Amino acid sequence: MLTLAEALDAVLDHCGALPPRRVVLREALGCLLAEDVATDLDLPPFDKALMDGFAVRAADFDPSQPTWFKIVETITAGMVSTRTIESGEAASIMTGAPLPPGADSVVQIERANYESMGVTLTDPDFKLGRHVLTRGREMRAGEIVARRHERLNPARLGLLASVGLTFVSVQSRPRVVIVPTGDELVEPDQVPGPGQIRNSNATLLDALALKAGAFSRTTMIAPDEPEGLAARLRDGLHEDVLLITGGVSAGKLDLVPATLERLGVLKVFHKIKVKPGKPLWFGVGPARSLGQPGTLVFGLPGNPVSAAVGFALLVAPALEVLAGGCKRATPLTTFPLAIPYAHRGDRPTYQPSKLVHGRIEPLPWAGSSDLRTLASADGLASFAEGDRDYSVGELVPFLDLS
Amino acid sequence: MLTLAEALDAVLDHCGALPPRRVVLREALGCLLAEDVATDLDLPPFDKALMDGFAVRAADFDPSQPTWFKIVETITAGMVSTRTIESGEAASIMTGAPLPPGADSVVQIERANYESMGVTLTDPDFKLGRHVLTRGREMRAGEIVARRHERLNPARLGLLASVGLTFVSVQSRPRVVIVPTGDELVEPDQVPGPGQIRNSNATLLDALALKAGAFSRTTMIAPDEPEGLAARLRDGLHEDVLLITGGVSAGKLDLVPATLERLGVLKVFHKIKVKPGKPLWFGVGPARSLGQPGTLVFGLPGNPVSAAVGFALLVAPALEVLAGGCKRATPLTTFPLAIPYAHRGDRPTYQPSKLVHGRIEPLPWAGSSDLRTLASADGLASFAEGDRDYSVGELVPFLDLS
C-alpha cells in the first residue's frame, strides 16, 4: 500500500499542463497566462495632462510670482489641439487630454484666476513637466508587459485590454466529469427507500472541482452492474479528469477497478495509507483524439468524507498541474491544538477540525460518512500514523477546506 | 471632503441584504444560506455496516477465540435483508449495506476464514456494535443541520443534498453593471487615434466584480454628451449596483454627476480624502419596481488605478453587504516595510506594492493611470496623510489584491 507521498508522486508523474486555449479576457480570470504579451503602442500614447488646468510653456512661467497667460483654446480628453502654444499663451486642458504642441507643463485649475481675456496662474511648486505624463512613461511600444505563467488577476486583465487584447492564450482549465456509482444511491430529490441513501457525492465533488477552478459536470448514478457501469465510465474517458465515487472497496459489487481496466484504463495504484480514504484507485485512460493524453481516473471511496479527503490530497494537486501550475502537495499550515487528541491506528489520519482563534479543535465524528461534521469543520487536522496522545499546544498540520 | 471612514459609513448606511433567491445547489456555492435547513430523515437511515465482512449477533461471539458461523445470506449496499439472523448465523455484508434484523455487529472480512459451509471469525478487539453505524447517529429527522448565514462551501452543499435539497434559498449575489464614459476612449480591439486611449476600465472592473462574487456586465462606452450619457446610465439603474468610470472630475465634460441627478439619483457624497481616487461620486437611484431599493451608484474616476482603489475601498464592502454579509471595511493586514518610503501629501495614500517574504516593497509608479505597475503589484500599502519618512521595518497596513 502506497504512502500518501508516494501516491501523490505517482499521480503527478502522469500530469502535465493541458494545451493552451484562446479565450475572451473575462474567461481568463484566475488562469495562468500562456504567452508573453507585448504592447503595440507607447502608453500613454501622447504627453497627457494629469490635472484639469492650463497647458503652458515652462519657459514662460515664473514660480515666484503670478503670471498672466492668454487663453487660446480648450482641449478636452479625446480631442487633439489645432494649434501650437506660443510664448505667453495657455490652453485650457482637461485631465487625460493630450498636450498641445509647444506646451510642456500644466498648472492646475485650483491655482488659476480668470482675468481680462486670460488667466493668472500661481504655483510655487511649479517645474518643467508639472502634471504631465510624458509619452511612453508607462510602457514603450514592443515592450513585454505580461509574461507567460503569470496568474491573471483583475489588474492584469485590465492591462491586457489597455494594450489591445480582447482574447488571450491561457493555460486551459481542466474539464472534470463526476460519476457516482452504487445501487444504494438515489438522487437528492428522492426519498430513500429501505437500505438506500442519497447521492451527496456528486454535489460535493462538483463544488470542490468548481472551487478548484475546473469546468465540472456530473452524470446520473451508475449502477452496480458491469454493462451499465461501463457505458457511464466510457463517456467519462472523453474528459481530462474522471472522478468516480464508490465501488472501489473489496466488496462483491466493487466493480469499478475491473471495469476501468476493461476500458483500457491503466491502473497506477489502488489503496493508499490514509484515513479516511484508503480504497482510493488511480489510473490513466487510453490516449484521446487529437493527441490529448489519457484521462486521469480517480476511483474515490463512496463515503463522502473519504471522497473529499481524496480530492483534497490527490485530485486538487493534479488539477493544479493540468491548469499549468506547479507540482506540489495541497498546502498545509501548522497550528497548535486547542484540546488534547488521542490518535490510534496505523494510518496517517485527516480529522475534521475547527480552527478557533488559530488553534485546532478536532471534532468528534461518526466516521467517513459523516458529512455533517465535515460541513461544520474548517478543514482537516493531520496526525501521523501510530498510537500517540497529543497535548494541548502541540503543533499539528492543518488543511484548510473553508 | 469626506475621509475614507466617513465615506464608507455613508455607503454602508445605504446598503442592505438583497432579498433571498432560490437557486440550484451548484449555483449556491460561496453564497450565504438564507434559511435554516432540517433533515427529513435519520442519517444513516438504518444501522449500517462500515466494513465489508460478516454481520453477527454480539452475544454469539467470543473475542478470546475463533468462532464458527453459518453463512445464511449476502447483503450488498442498496439491498434489504430477507431474514432475521438467528444465534450462530452470520450474513456476508458489504460496506454501506443495512444490517439484517437480529445482527448488531460486523467482523471485517480480513478476519474471516471460510470453512465447511460457514466462516470462522477472529477479532480480539470485538465489542457490541463493532463496525456498525447505528441509525440516526449522524442526525435525527427534524434536526437543523445547516443554519441561516452559513457560507455554503462544498461540504455544506453535499450535506444539503444528503438531506434532500436540490434547490436552496440563499442571499442573492448582487448584479453589477459597468458603464465606461469618455470621448477619448476606444474599445480594446481598436487602435487609438490621436488623443485616444483604450478602455481598460470595463475589463478591470468586470473582473473585480466577478472576483467579489457578483454577477457583472459591461456596456458600450458612453459619450461625453448629455443625452447619450443619460440613455446609458438610465439602463444601469435597473441593476443593484451601477459603476461608472470617468466624468466625475471638475472638467468641462465631467457630466456624470449632473446627469445622474437629472435621472433622480440622490447624491450622497462627491470626493473623498484618498490618493488615488479623490473624485469618487456616490449616490442612490430611485426605488425600482417590485419594491427593490434604489441602485447604488458609484462614479469612479477614469484612471484605472483610481477606479481599482475606489472599488476595493468602497464598492467591495458594499457588495459584501448586498450579498448578506457584515458591514465592514475591506480587511487590511499589517506587514513591515522592506525599503524606506517617503510619503508626501495631505491625503492617505494607497500605493501599489509587492509583498516579498512578508515585507512590503512600495513600487515606483507613474500615477493613477499606471495599470502596468498595479498589475505587477500584490496589493496596496496604506500610508496616512501628512509628510513623513518611513523606515525599513515599520509596520504598514496592506490591502491584498492578488
Residue of A77, A187, A189 with shortest CB distance to B184: A77
The single residue listed with the C-alpha cell 460486523 is B106
Distance separating the N- and C-terminal Cα atoms of chain A: 30
Q: How confident is the model at residue B173 (pLDDT cuts 50, 70, 90)?
A: very high
Rounded-to-integer distance, Cα B354 and Cα B378, Å: 5
Contact call for B26 and A159, based on CB within 8 A: no
ipTM above 0.95, yes or no: no
Question: What is the pLDDT at residue A210?
Answer: 97
Q: Identify whether residues A150 and A162 lie together within a single domain.
A: yes
**Residue in B with minimal Cα distance to A374:** B155
Residue A257 and residue A299 in contact, taking contact as beta carbons nearer than 8 Å? yes
Domain boundary among A280, A298, A322: A322
Is A390 domain-assigned?
A: yes
Size of interface A-B (CB pairs under 8 A): 300
Contact call for A96 and B139, based on CB within 8 A: no
The 10s digit of each residue's pLDDT in B370-388 is 999 999 999 999 999 999 9
Phi, psi at A113, each rounded to 5°: -125, 120
A232: number of Cβ within 10 Å: 21
Range of weakest confidence among A166-170, A225-229, B216-220, B288-292: B288-292
What percent of chain B is modeled with pLDDT above 90? 92
Distance separating the N- and C-terminal Cα atoms of chain B: 30
Rounded-to-integer distance, Cα B197 and Cα B247, Å: 15
The pLDDT of residue A384 is above 70 = yes
- Sequence-distant (≥ 6) Cβ neighbours of residue B209 within 8 angstroms: B176, B178, B216, B241, B243, B311, B315, B319
Q: Identify whether residues B203 and B239 lie together within a single domain.
A: yes
DSSP secondary structure, A74-107, as one string: EE-TT---SSPPPTTEEEEE-TTPBPPTT--EEE
Average pLDDT over residues B179-194: 95
Within 8 A of B252 by CB-CB distance, chain A residues are 74, 76, 92, 94
Domain boundary among B322, B348, B370: B322
**Residue in B with minimal Cα distance to A370:** B138
Question: What is the pLDDT at residue A250?
Answer: 65
Within 8 A of B367 by CB-CB distance, chain A residues are 50, 133
3-class secondary-structure state, position A239 = coil
Average pLDDT, chain B: 95
Rounded-to-integer distance, Cα A316 and Cα A188, Å: 25
Chain-centre distance for alpha carbon A271: 30
- The shortest C-alpha distance from B229 to chain A (Å) reads 16
Q: How confident is the model at residue A23 (pLDDT cuts 50, 70, 90)?
A: very high
Within 8 A of B182 by CB-CB distance, chain A residues are 77-78, 96
- The shortest C-alpha distance from B196 to chain A (Å) reads 5
Sign of CA dihedral A365, A367, A372, A373: positive
DSSP secondary structure, A126-159, as one string: --TTTTEE-TTSSB-TT-EEE-TT-B--HHHHHH
**Residue in B with minimal Cα distance to A30:** B211
Chain-centre distance for alpha carbon B400: 16
Domain with A240 in it: what CATH number? Answer: 3.40.980.10
Q: Identify whether residues B349 and B222 lie together within a single domain.
A: no
Q: What is the 3-state secondary structure (H, E, C) of B190-208?
A: CCCCCCCEECCHHHHHHHH
Question: What is the pLDDT at residue A356?
Answer: 97
Residue of A26, A50, A371 with shortest CB distance to B210: A26
Rounded-to-integer distance, Cα B252 and Cα A99, Å: 16
Question: What is the pLDDT at residue A77?
Answer: 87
DSSP β-bridge partners for residue B244 = B179, B299
Phi-psi region of A45 (alpha: psi -120 to 50; beta: other; left: phi over 0): alpha
Q: Identify whether residues B148 and B35 lie together within a single domain.
A: yes
Q: How confident is the model at residue A291 (pLDDT cuts 50, 70, 90)?
A: confident
Is B328 domain-assigned?
A: no
Q: Identify whether residues A72 and A142 lie together within a single domain.
A: no
Average pLDDT, chain A: 95
Rounded-to-integer distance, Cα B246 and Cα B231, Å: 16
DSSP B340: -
Q: Are strands B395-400 and B379-383 parallel, antiparallel or unpaired?
A: antiparallel
- The shortest C-alpha distance from B319 to chain A (Å) reads 17
Residue of B30, B96, B253 with shortest CB distance to A76: B253
The pLDDT of residue B315 is above 80 = yes
The pLDDT of residue A309 is above 70 = yes
3-class secondary-structure state, position B87 = coil
Is A328 domain-assigned?
A: no
Is A327 domain-assigned?
A: no
Within 8 A of A255 by CB-CB distance, chain B residues are none
- Closest-CA residue to B28 (of B155, B167, B206, B144): B167
A130: number of Cβ within 10 Å: 20
Within 8 A of A197 by CB-CB distance, chain B residues are 43-45, 96, 162
- Domain containing residue A65: 48-133
Is B309 domain-assigned?
A: yes
Domain with A35 in it: what CATH number? Answer: 3.90.105.10
- Closest-CA residue to B325 (of B160, B205, B156, B173): B173
Q: How many helices (H) and strands (E) does chain A have?
A: 8, 27
Is B276 domain-assigned?
A: yes
Average pLDDT over residues B13-32: 96
The 10s digit of each residue's pLDDT in B217-261 is 999 999 999 999 999 999 999 999 999 999 887 666 789 999 999
Residue B139 and residue B172 in contact, taking contact as beta carbons nearer than 8 Å? no
CA dihedral A284, A290, A291, A295 (to 10 degrees): -10
Domain boundary among A269, A295, A322: A322
Q: Identify whether residues A85 and A151 lie together within a single domain.
A: no
Contact call for A188 and B162, based on CB within 8 A: yes
Q: Identify whether residues A207 and A148 lie together within a single domain.
A: no
Q: How confident is the model at residue A82 (pLDDT cuts 50, 70, 90)?
A: confident
DSSP B386: S
Which grid coordinates are listed for A366?
Answer: 461518526
Residue A223 and residue A272 in contact, taking contact as beta carbons nearer than 8 Å? no
Q: Identify whether residues A153 and A215 lie together within a single domain.
A: no
Rounded-to-integer distance, Cα A131 and Cα A113, Å: 18
Residue B295 and residue B240 in contact, taking contact as beta carbons nearer than 8 Å? yes
Is B327 domain-assigned?
A: no
Domain with A394 in it: what CATH number? Answer: 2.40.340.10
The pLDDT of residue A25 is above 90 = yes
Q: In a mutagenesis test of the B interface, which of A40, A50, A94, A95 is the best target, namely the one with the most B β-carbons within 10 Å?
A: A95
Q: Identify whether residues B311 and B337 lie together within a single domain.
A: no
What angle, 0 to 180 degrees and rounded to 10, lies between the N-to-C axes of helices B201-211 and A154-162? Answer: 160
Domain with A81 in it: what CATH number? Answer: 2.170.190.11
- The shortest C-alpha distance from B62 to chain A (Å) reads 23
Question: What is the pLDDT at residue A27?
Answer: 96
> What is the amino acid identity at position A163?
V
Residue B203 and residue B187 in contact, taking contact as beta carbons nearer than 8 Å? no
> What is the amino acid identity at position B13?
D
Question: What is the pLDDT at residue B289?
Answer: 84
Which grid coordinates are listed for A229?
Answer: 457501469
- Closest-CA residue to A25 (of A167, A214, A172, A213): A167
Contact call for A253 and B94, based on CB within 8 A: yes
Question: What is the pLDDT at residue A254?
Answer: 82
Average pLDDT over residues B42-58: 94
Contact call for B162 and A191, based on CB within 8 A: no
Residue of B94, B200, B250 with shortest CB distance to A158: B200
Within 8 A of B184 by CB-CB distance, chain A residues are 77-79, 96-97
Q: Identify whether residues B76 and B126 lie together within a single domain.
A: yes
- The shortest C-alpha distance from A191 to chain B (Å) reads 7
- Report the domain count for chain A: 4
Q: Identify whether residues A182 and A313 lie together within a single domain.
A: yes
The CA distances from residue B318 to B38, B201, B213, B299, B330, in Å, are 31, 19, 12, 14, 10
Which grid coordinates are listed for A299?
Answer: 476511483
Q: Identify whether residues B279 and B372 lie together within a single domain.
A: no
The 10s digit of each residue's pLDDT in A292-304 is 899 999 999 999 9
Is A221 domain-assigned?
A: yes
Within 8 A of A153 by CB-CB distance, chain B residues are 207, 211, 375, 401-402
3-class secondary-structure state, position A343 = strand
- Burial (CB < 10 A; 0-12, 13-18, 19+), residue B282, is buried
Question: What is the pLDDT at residue B252?
Answer: 66
- The shortest C-alpha distance from A284 to chain B (Å) reads 26
The pLDDT of residue A18 is above 70 = yes
What angle, 0 to 180 degrees and rounded to 10, lies between the N-to-C axes of helices A201-211 and B154-162? Answer: 160
Q: In a mutagenesis test of the B interface, which of A165, A371, A376 is the best target, namely the one with the most B β-carbons within 10 Å?
A: A371
DSSP secondary structure, B97-137, as one string: PBPPTT--EEEEGGGEEEETTEEEE--TT--TTTTEE-TTS
Within 8 A of B45 by CB-CB distance, chain A residues are 192, 196-197
The 10s digit of each residue's pLDDT in A56-70 is 999 999 899 999 999
Contact call for B146 and A375, based on CB within 8 A: yes
DSSP secondary structure, A280-328, as one string: -EEEEPPP-GGGPPPPEEEEE-SSHHHHHHHIIIIIHHHHHHHTT----
pTM for the full predicted model? 0.93
- The shortest C-alpha distance from B315 to chain A (Å) reads 15
Phi, psi at A372, each rounded to 5°: -60, -45
**Residue in A with minimal Cα distance to B81:** A195
